[in-house]
């Protein structure tokens, strides 16, 4: 990464004229912004951009839309996952399209702009969410793009896990947590962390509140974490083992060969979201 905490990796053979055969995947996190270009004909990752420790990730996205030509190419599909405080999960037997506004009254903040519904048929619920004002305004240019809540990619990866498991997806200053039992989502939340003590506090809070048996539950990690760093060492105080999640969709990720395979798992897993 450069001095701006950002990195841009591009396949030198990538031709912007092939954008119509590619998907653009965008992840606007709590304090991070990243995107990937995936060629659906060759199943190849053609580009990855990542910036950590953004003061305002939605604003970073809006600003970059004005300067980064890769973001405005005519893609086959555009998929954007955005961190938002306004997201709730509604069991499918209680959800109808006509009830969107009714459910929105339980949001943390008064919603600005459109309300979105994201079905999770595998887990039996629908996520209702709205976007932060800045992200909502920035996304007006992506008229054909589909919007997702921040947990969409982690949920897509969790569909393949048939065991009691805690999934943690890290950026430099935050992490998304997802806990599943018997193919049911028990808990999902995002936490901002400034230091290791805060991470340890939230980790213990999750373990204790959910009564997780750390000897039996599996631990799956993705994002900006690696074996031996402080957060990984902290996790092994409570769990006997931690497995890293790599995207298992046969993508050619040659441009990421010098990076840990799990760093961009959640970003690339957006391609599996429907």
| Digit-coded pLDDT (tens) for 31-80 | 999 999 999 999 999 999 999 998 889 888 888 988 999 999 999 999 99
Paired sense of beta strands 44-52 and 32-39, if any: antiparallel
Cβ(59)–Cβ(22) under 8 Å? no
Say whether pLDDT at 3 is over 50: no
pLDDT value at position 144? 66
CATH 3.30.360.10 matches 158-244? no
Task: Read off the pLDDT of residues 97-119 as tens digits, 9 standing for 90 and up.
Answer: 888 888 888 898 888 888 999 99
Please give the torsion angle defined by the CA atoms of residues 60, 48, 250 and 262, in that order, rounded to the nearest 10 degrees: -70
Check pLDDT > 60 for residue 247: yes
């Amino acid at each position: 990464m450069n001095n701006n905490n950002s990195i841009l990796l591009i396949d030198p053979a990538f031709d912007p004229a092939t954008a119509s055969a590619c998907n653009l995947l965008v992840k606007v996190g709590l304090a991070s912004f990243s995107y990937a270009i995936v060629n659906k004909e060759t199943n190849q990752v053609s580009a990855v951009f990542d910036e950590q420790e953004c003061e305002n990730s939605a604003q970073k996205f809006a600003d970059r839309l004005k300067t980064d030509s890769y973001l405005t190419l005519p893609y086959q599909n555009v998929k954007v996952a955005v961190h938002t405080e306004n997201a709730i999960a509604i069991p499918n037997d209680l959800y109808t399209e006509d009830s969107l506004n009714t459910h929105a009254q339980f949001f943390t903040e008064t919603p600005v702009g459109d309300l979105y519904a994201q079905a999770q048929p595998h887990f039996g619920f629908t996520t209702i969410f709205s976007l932060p004002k800045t992200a909502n305004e920035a996304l007006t240019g992506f008229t054909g793009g589909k919007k997702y809540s921040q947990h969409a990619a982690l949920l897509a990866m969790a569909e393949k896990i048939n065991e009691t498991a805690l999934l943690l997806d890290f950026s430099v200053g935050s992490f998304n947590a997802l806990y599943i039992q018997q193919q049911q989502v028990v808990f999902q939340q995002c936490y901002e962390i400034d230091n290791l003590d805060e991470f340890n506090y939230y980790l213990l809070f999750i373990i204790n509140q959910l009564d997780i048996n750390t000897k039996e539950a599996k631990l799956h990690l993705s994002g900006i974490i690696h074996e031996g760093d402080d957060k990984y060492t902290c996790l092994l105080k409570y769990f006997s083992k931690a497995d890293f999640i790599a995207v298992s969709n046969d993508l050619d990720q040659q441009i990421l060969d010098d990076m840990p395979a799990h760093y961009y798992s959640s970003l690339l897993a957006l391609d599996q979201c429907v």
